[in-house]
Every structure is written in structure tokens, then in C-alpha cells.
Structure 1
Amino acid sequence: MKFCTFEVRTPVGPFERLGAVVSEGEDLRYVDLNFAAAAEFKQRGSSRPQAMADALIPSDMLAIAASGKGGIEAAEEALEYALGHEDTSGPRGEQIIYAPNEARLLAPIKQPPLIRGFAGFERHLKKTFEVMNMEIPKTWYERPLAFKASCGHMAGPEEEVPWPSFTEKMDFELEFCCVIGVPGRDISEEDAHEHIFGYAILNDWSARDAQGGEMAMGTGPYKSKDWCWSLGPWIATPDEVGDPKNIPMAARVNGETWVETTPGEMYWTFSQIIAYTARDENLLTGDLMGSGTVPGGCGMEMDRWIQPGDIVEIDMGPLGVMRNKVGEKPEPKPYTYK
């Protein structure tokens, strides 16, 4: 399945809903899973259809992710019912199926508990470290390492991404993530797949001229990456994706393809990343485990730089197309404090 969070506007204000994305060629529709389940319970004669649906499929991405296999199966049943009864509505007349012009996609998870940005691809790491006059440390080959990032601004599809005041070299990253579903601790590599809810595009916007000095400190990037991430447009379950190494990927700027590739083998797989991270540590529902940029997947590697007003599209086949406009440059400020 492809799970999304969408917003509908009503006379009493906007509401956020959990949905499933249905593709018919290039056309998309969004199905409200909670109201679809409620409609089915009503059709079966339940006296409390909405309460039953709220318990089984809450209209919240983190709740469905935490419910594991049982929650996904319930969502699949609700989706099947909705598509088989397209003229039906919720118990109180609620709309169930939306066209894209009737709803707005948001970031699937508005505020994840934590982003861990791994570096899964050696070729990308070599290239970018070379530009910053650094070498890959021996420790990278011994264990999967990540920096932890702010989740304060998760940009959704079509949302404008602000240009930070402290950079002249803003960059995108062709990157994806796995999303933790069932929480856990001390997870084995063999069982790690049971904790993956799905995969999504995770564009790690970067301020390259600020990043080098931060990396030299040895604590990883900080301000150079924390002002905004893009997540979405949906989360695809593992059965929709298959082997992540084969995901078709492209980055386009103003319609021009800058890079087209498949990620290939990660030096550290998501199962290894999860197993290592979960040693003596809790993984929470909604944690994002970033893959790191795929080889060739950023402007820094090409020495090509996005500009204010550019439209950046990250296209990853079953993970959808994440489209964002780059905001205008504000009054510049130094990336040092003194």
C-alpha cells in the first residue's frame, strides 16, 4: 500500500486524514481509510461504526504504523471495500474518495520522533569528502554511523522550501528512508524487516558552504542541514517497493533531468542499520532512517547549484514524485556566529 496524509478543507476549518493512494495510470486518488472502514462496519449492521473504525484504523499515520501487520491488513480491507463501493459514504455522509484537486497532500509524518541520517553509499561519500578536503574515516567501514537531525520542519509535496540566510550554496539530495513501524529494542538483523513500515523520499536539503566547517568539528552537520527536510509524497510498504537497490530514481530541476540512476547496493543495509541502532536503544514508531545520498545524487557532486525559484523534483518510481519550490534568498547572514 501507499499511505498518505492529506488535508481537506471544510466550512469549520481544515482536517488532516490518513489515506491510501490509488494509482490508475497517471491519475491518482486518495481514499480515506478510517471512513471507509466505518462505512463497512455500518453496512455490516454495527451500531457504532465510527467508534469501531477509530479503534481499528485511527486516522493517524503513526498509529497505523505502530499497529504492524494487523493494521496494514485492516487498511487493505478498508481500501478494497471503498474501491468496490465507490458511491458509498461514511456513516454521517463523509466523503471517502478524493481527487487530487479536492485534497492536499502533506508530509506523511508531520513531526517524526527522530531523523537519523546515515551514509549508505561509499561512492557518494568519497566524492563529497574529497570536495571538503576530508577522508572517509575507518570507523565508517566498521559500523553504520549517522547524524541526528531536527524534525522541526518537514516539508510536504508542493511546499516551498526556504532558502537559509547563511548559505550561497543550497543543495538537494537524492535520498530515501525507511520508516520504523513497530517499535523495538535489541532487534536482530534477521528480524529487522518486521520493524520497517515502509519507504519514502527524504530530501536532505543542505547548505554546502556551511557544512564543511561543521564536519571538521567531528560531530556531523548541524545548521547546514537542520532548517528543512522534505518527506513524501507518501510511504510505500515494502511489498510495493521490492528490493530498494532497484528503485528507479531521478532528480529534475525546472524540468531538466540532472541525474537518473538506481541506488545499487548500500554498504550498510537497512537491516544492518536497524540492528546496530537498536542495540541497547529504543527505536520508536515513525523514526526515519535515511539512506544517505545515492551516488551522483546531489548538485555538489556535479558542481551544479540550484537557485531561488527553482522547482526541484525527486522522482523515485513507487515512492512517487516529491516536488518543491526553492524559496527566495533572504538578507544574508554569516554562517559563523563571531
Structure 2
Amino acid sequence: MRFCRYQLSDQSTGIGLVVEDRIVPLQDIDPALPTDMDSLMAMQSAQLERLAAGCNLPGLSGSVKLLAPLAAPEKVVCVGLNYRDHAIETGAEIPSEPVVFNKFPSALIGPGDTIELPAESKRVDYEAELVVVIGKTARHVSEDEAMEYVFGYCCGNDVSARDWQKGTPGGQWLLGKTFDTFAPLGPYLVHKSVVPDPGKLRVQLRLNGETMQDSTTEQLIFSIPQVIAHITQVVTLRPGDVIYTGTPPGVGDARTPPVYLSAGDVCEVEIEGLGILRNECK
């Protein structure tokens, strides 16, 4: 099951089931179904199964804009240096435990939205990432039970201002990662039931059609259960919170010569089974 948030030409918004190339509003399937993503995530698996009735319904017609699948997550948690080859290409030591930082929710944008390149940075970089969406409150979760707390997955782009992240006193990871528009997310929220093994997904990023990153989540140093268990030792994760799980090698800052984002560039993050997240820079 793939879900989305959408906006119509009259500015009204809704939640839809994505069936092939069409969007079926949940309210067309059953008026009693949720009208927001938080309520949808609270449904039990057995309840979600009835959404299959929407597969034969017509989709929306006219102008439809996809929004970020989650409107306002309480937390946007990120894991750095979580692919061995990426750590090596940056010259960093292989971490012995997850490197955790965050972005503010104000950085979130959806598919088709614009990545705004700030005048304050000359070294803005891309990072394709698998994003985990938490489905129920998680605190002190073990690795064995961690996947029970996952609702689904999205494509994400951990856009990063490297001159702020690395070139300022002390290294400003937070500020370098959380400029407005620096957390593209989407295009869909894909339920975990249709992702048999999130540890075996191909992750790609194309910049203006050229493949810059191409790896699989098999290369993660710390698995999704390990990451969730580690984070919930410290902080309570709530439904709708998202975890950007790390990026594979091929980032622009590690290339010779370096490649940074410019106005007019188009980033496409594609993750196997999750769709393509496309954003233009300006």
C-alpha cells in the first residue's frame, strides 16, 4: 500500500491511496476512513486491509499536487556516516555506534517542491536516503521488537550545506543540515507490508539525469532495528516521526572536483519500490 497527501486546484487537501498511476481518495473508499495521515497510521493492520477495496475505483482527475507525506512530524532524526564506503570517502572513521543528529521540521518539503539554495552557503550537497516513518510511540525499544514500531518508508534527500557542517567552529551539523527546504520527503509513504526487506533496497540519486549515487541498504553499517533501538534509549519516538537512515557514497563534496548544487539543478532520489522524489534547486 502506498499513501500520499495531495492538494487540489481549490487548495483543499486529502489523503489518497496510490494505485498504479492514480490517486484514490480514502474518503471515496469509505467516508469513515481517516482524513489525516496521523489517524491513518493509528489504524490496525486488519483495518488497513479494507483499503484494497479502493483498487478498482477511479482516481482523482484534474490538477493534483503531491505534498510531503507527513505534514508536521514532531522529530526529524538523521543518522550520519551509516554507509561504510561513504564514511571512507569523507575521510571519517567508521563509527562504532550510530552518529545521530537532526533537522527541524521546518526544513521539510514535498515532491516537486523547490530546494532553495541559501546565499549563506556555497557548498550545498545532496544525499539520497531511505527514510523510516514511525507508526507508534517507541521508548526503550529492543532491536528484536523495533520493526513493530515502523509504519512505512519514504525517499528522502538530506540536503547539506557542507561549509556550515564542516567549515565553521566546532562543525555546525545541525545548522548545516536544517536550512529551510533541506529535507525533501516523498513522493509516497509506503506501508511496511509491501516492503519485504528494507535492508535490501537499491538507493540512487540522479543529478540532472546523471547517476551520482547507486548502492543498496545492504551496505548500512547500522540496520534499521539497531538505529531505532539506539535512538529510543534517549528519546521517545512518536507516530509520524521520521528517521533519515544515512546516505551511500557518491556525494558531491567527496568528488574530485567537488560537485555542489546550483540553481536549475534537478535532484531525483529513487529507492526500489518507493518511487522517485524529484526536486529542482533555485
Deviation at 1:114, TM superposition (A): 0.6
Structure 1 pair 258/282, CA: closer, same or farther in 2 (3 Å)?
A: closer
Deviation at 1:262, TM superposition (A): 2.1
Contact 1:118–1:289 (CA under 8 A) maintained in structure 2: yes
Tell me the equivalent position of 2:93.
Answer: 136
Say if 2:164 is the partner of 1:192.
no
Tell me the equivalent position of 1:62.
Answer: 38
1:255-303 Cα shifts (integer Å, max 9, x gaps):
222233323232111111111221253211111111111122x212322
Q: Which runs of 4+ in 1 moved over 6 A?
A: none
Contact 1:33–1:75 (CA under 8 A) maintained in structure 2: no
Letter in 2 for 1:106: L
Q: Which runs of 5+ in 1 are unaligned?
A: 39-52, 88-96, 328-338
Match of 2:177 among 212, 225, 239: 225
Tell me the equivalent position of 1:49.
Answer: none
Match of 1:83 among 36, 47, 55: 55
Tell me the equivalent position of 2:201.
Answer: 247
Match of 1:107 among 64, 68, 74: 68
SS in 1 for 2:186: strand
Deviation at 1:154, TM superposition (A): 1.2
Contact 1:185–1:279 (CA under 8 A) maintained in structure 2: yes
Tell me the equivalent position of 1:50.
Answer: none
Letter in 1 for 2:167: G
Aligned mates of 1:169, 1:191 — CA distance in 2? 40
Tell me the equivalent position of 1:124.
Answer: 86
Number of residues of Structure 1 aligned to a counterpart in Structure 2:
277
Deviation at 1:326, TM superposition (A): 0.3
1:152-172 Cα shifts (integer Å, max 9, x gaps):
131111111101111111111
**Aligned pairs (5 A) from 1:301-312:** 301-302=254-255, 303-312=258-267
Letter in 1 for 2:219: E
Structure 1 pair 304/208, CA: closer, same or farther in 2 (3 Å)?
A: same
Aligned mates of 1:276, 1:252 — CA distance in 2? 31
Tell me the equivalent position of 1:94.
Answer: none
Tell me the equivalent position of 1:266.
Answer: 220
**Bigger relative contact order, structure 1 or 2, given CA contacts below 8 A and separation 6+?**
2
Letter in 1 for 2:151: F
Tell me the equivalent position of 1:9.
Answer: 9
Contact 1:20–1:33 (CA under 8 A) maintained in structure 2: yes
1:19-43 Cα shifts (integer Å, max 9, x gaps):
11111xxxx11111133112xxxxx
Deviation at 1:223, TM superposition (A): 2.0
Letter in 1 for 2:116: P
Deviation at 1:148, TM superposition (A): 1.9
Contact 2:139–2:237 (CA under 8 A) maintained in structure 1: yes
Structure number having the greater helix percentage: 1
Tell me the equivalent position of 2:114.
Answer: 160
Tell me the equivalent position of 1:278.
Answer: 232
Match of 2:247 among 293, 297, 314: 293
Tell me the equivalent position of 1:32.
Answer: 25
TM-score, normalised to structure 2, is 0.91
SS in 1 for 2:219: coil
Letter in 2 for 1:124: H
**Aligned pairs (5 A) from 1:298-337:** 298-302=251-255, 303-327=258-282
Deviation at 1:111, TM superposition (A): 1.7
Aligned mates of 1:75, 1:59 — CA distance in 2? 14
**Aligned alpha-carbon RMSD (Å):** 2.0
SS in 2 for 1:233: strand
Deviation at 1:182, TM superposition (A): 1.1
Structure 1 pair 102/76, CA: closer, same or farther in 2 (3 Å)?
A: farther
Structure 1 pair 174/294, CA: closer, same or farther in 2 (3 Å)?
A: same
Letter in 2 for 1:58: P
Aligned mates of 2:2, 2:177 — CA distance in 1? 27
Larger Rg: 1
Contact 1:263–1:295 (CA under 8 A) maintained in structure 2: no
Aligned mates of 1:22, 1:326 — CA distance in 2? 29
Q: Which runs of 5+ in 2 are unaligned?
A: none
Aligned mates of 2:252, 2:99 — CA distance in 1? 23
SS in 2 for 1:222: helix
